[in-house]
Structure 1
C-alpha cells in the first residue's frame, strides 16, 4: 500500500457524526478522504475491509496510508483535532469527484427505468449486503447506506462501498461475533426492493453470490498474511492475536453457514416476498 503525505492545509472536516474524516491533498496531487481515528482498531477495520472487498470484487475507492503534516492542521481545527492523532499513519480513500453518496433523496431516481438502466453491476448491491453480513457491519442500513454511486467515463453508474469502521459489531472481535439484524442490512431498504423485487434474475443472482461466497472467504484467508504486511507498526496492534480471532470467527464453517442462512432469509423476507 502506497504511503502519501499532505502538501497543503486540510481543506475541511466532514461532519459525519462518526469519525469525521478530513479532505486533504497529497503529494500525488489528488484529494483524499483521510481517517485519523484515535483508536487504531478502527483504522485497521478500514484497511482490512477494503482489502477483503477488493478480493470479493466489490468496488471501493483506491486506498493509501497518509501522513498528515502537523503544519497542515489549521489552528482553528485544533479544538476538534489532537495533534497526537497524526503521529501515526492515517487511512486514506481517494476522493471520487464524479460520485454521489446514496441517501433517501435520490431514491426517486432509481424508480425511473431509464436511470436504473444506467446502473451497471446491480448485483454488487446484494454482494455488498452479503459482505456486511459476513463481517458483521452494523453501519450500512436504511438510515446510512455508506454507498457511493460513481459515474464512469462511459456515463454508467456503479456502486462503491465506503466506511467500514463498524465491522465486527463495532469492535475488534473482543466480544465474539454476532449476526447483524435485519435492520442493520441494506437488504431491508426500499432501494433493494426497487432493484430486485420484480427482477426475474434475483434468485439466480443470489445463487451465484452464495456459490462465490465460500471461494471469496477462502481467498481472503489465504491473503491474510499479505494484507497484514500493509498494517503500519505505528498502529501498535497485536496482529498475531487479531489473526487468531479472525480464524476463530469469520473463517469458521459455522459462521459461514450462519451468514449463508441469514442472507437467504433477508432476501426472501424483504425482496422476494414483497
Structure 2
C-alpha cells in the first residue's frame, strides 16, 4: 500500500460521531480523508477491515498510509490536534467528491423507483450487512449507516462502506467476539425494507451471500499474513497476538455458522415479516 505525504495545510476537520478525521491533500495531488487516532488499534481496525472488504468485493474508497507533516498542522486553528498523533503513519481513504453520505434524509430518495433503478447493485447493501455481522462492526446501524452513495461516471449509484473503527465489538478482540444485536445492523432499517421487502429473489440472494461468507472468510484467512505485513512498525501492533485472536475468532467454523444464522434471522425479522 502506498505511503503519501501532505503538501499543504490540513483543509478541515470532518466532524463525525467518532474519530473526526482530517481532509488533506497529498503529493499525488488528490484529497484524502485522514484518520489519525491516538490509539493505533483503531488505525489497525480501519486497515484490516478495508483489506478484508476488498476480498469480499465490497466497494470501499481507495486506501493508503499518510504522513502528515508537522508544518501542515495548523495548531492555532485546530488546537485539539496533538503533534504526537502524527509521528506515526496515518490511515487514508480517498475523498470521493461525487458521493453523499447515507442518512435518514435520503430515505425519500429510496422511495422513488426512478432512484432505485439507478442503484448499480442493491445486493451490496446486504453483503455489507453480512460482512459487519462477521467482523462484529458495532458502528454501522440504522441510526449511523457509515455508507456513501457514490455516483459513477455513467450516473449509476453504488454503496461504499466507510469507517470501521468499531469492528471486533469495539475492542481489539481482548474478550473474544460476540454476535451483533438487531440494533447494530443496517438490516433493521427502512431502507433495507424498501430495497428488498418485495424482492421475490430475496431467498436466493440470502443463500448466495451465505455461501460467500464461507468463501470470502477463507480468502481473508489465506491473505491474513500479507495484510499483517502492511501494518506500519510505528503502530506498535503485536502481530502474532492479533493474528491468533483473528484466527481463533473470525475464522472458526462455529463463528461463521452463528453469523449465517444471525444474518438469516435479521432478514426474516426485518425484511420478510
Q: Which interval holds the TM-score relative to the shorter structure?
A: over 0.9
Partner of 1:48 in structure 2? 48
Aligned pairs for 1:17-166 (under 5 A) are: 17-166=17-166
CA distance in 1, matches of 2:144, 2:174: 25
Distance 1:76 1:154 in 2: 43
Task: Name 1:238's counterpart in structure 2.
Answer: 238
Pick which of 75-84 and 244-253 moved more: 75-84
How many Å separate the matches in 1 of 2:167 and 2:75? Answer: 33
State how far apart, in whole Å, the 2-side matches of 1:114 and 1:251 are.
41
Q: How many residues are aligned here?
A: 273
Please name the residue that 2:188 is paired with: 188
CA distance in 1, matches of 2:179, 2:27: 41
Counterpart Cα distance in 2 of 1:193 and 1:257: 24
Unaligned runs of 5+ in 2: none
| Residue 69 (structure 1) shift | 0.2
The runs of 5 or more residues in structure 1 that have no matched partner are: none
1:212 aligned partner:
212
Q: Deviations over 1:175-215 (max 9, x none)?
A: 11111100000000000000001111111110111111101
In 2, Cα distance between the equivalents of 1:229 and 1:248? 19
Does the residue aligned with 1:15 lie in a helix, a strand or coil? coil
1:141: how far off? 0.6
Range 196-205 or range 56-65, more displaced: 196-205
Shift of 1:78: 4.5
What CA distance in whole angstroms lies between the structure 1 residues aligned with 2:212 and 2:141? 23
C-alpha distance in structure 1 between counterparts of 2:90 and 2:82, whole Å: 13
User: Helix, strand or coil: the match of 1:150?
Assistant: strand
Q: What's the counterpart of residue 179 of structure 1?
A: 179
Could you give the per-residue CA deviations for residues 101-151 of structure 1, whole angstroms, max 9, x where no partner exists?
000001100001010000011000000000000010000011100000000
- 5 Å-filtered alignment, 1:193-272, equals 193-272=193-272
Which portions of structure 1, spanning 4 or more consecutive aligned residues, are displaced by more than 4 angstroms? Answer: none
Contact 2:75–2:81 (8 Å) recurs in 1: no
Distance 2:11 2:245 in 1: 38
CA distance in 2, matches of 1:225, 1:244: 11
TM-score by length of 1: 0.99
